[in-house]
Amino acid sequence: MYQLIDFTEMGDSRGALVALEGGVHIPFDLKRVFYVYGTKGDVPRGCHANRKTKFVLVSVNGSCTVTVKDGVNDVDIVLDNPTKGLFLDKMVWKEMHHFSDNAVLLVLCSEPYDKHEYVFDYDEYLMEIRNESNL
């Protein structure tokens, strides 16, 4: 469902750097990258699952909470460190919320954007994962 990933930080008196490579530090080849910023703290983002895409979320600045659901378990994970990533497998429901004023959430994706692979209705999501587990 999810896994926290520790990234190696390099730095000296000039500052810090985290380098990420798909297939090395990220458990898939990168096909898309985007970032979320300027989100008001009480406004939720995400609120969907993806049929094909896997993600790694990194709070490169500030913090946010990610609620991860698999139809049975709900887990809240606080992202507040640019050396930590949150891997989310496909067909995991995700909701990002409680963004700090300065939050920048970097999102690394295994697939290019395809609007048809998104599941925005939670009841539909539950039905799909139950059908998938009965195959």
pLDDT in tens, 77-121: 999 999 999 999 999 999 999 999 999 999 999 999 999 999 999
Mean pLDDT of the chain: 95
Catalytic machinery residues = 48
Task: Compute CA distances 123 → 64, 83, 99, 116, 129, whole Å.
Answer: 25, 34, 26, 17, 10
Q: What is the pLDDT at residue 33?
A: 98
Contact 103, 94 (CB under 8 A): no
Residue 38, pLDDT above cutoff 60: yes
Q: Note the pLDDT of residue 135.
A: 54
| Chain-centre distance for alpha carbon 22 | 15
Which pTM was predicted? Answer: 0.93
Angle at 120 between CA 117 and CA 126, to 5 degrees: 90
Task: Tell me what percent of the chain is helix, strand and coil, each rounded to the nearest 5.
Answer: 10, 45, 40
Rounded average pLDDT over 46-62: 98
Contact between residue 119 and residue 127 where contact means Cβ atoms under 8 Å apart: no
Section 36-45 average pLDDT = 91
Nearest to 93 by CA among 63, 60, 123: 123
- Of the chain, the percentage scoring pLDDT greater than 90 comes to 91
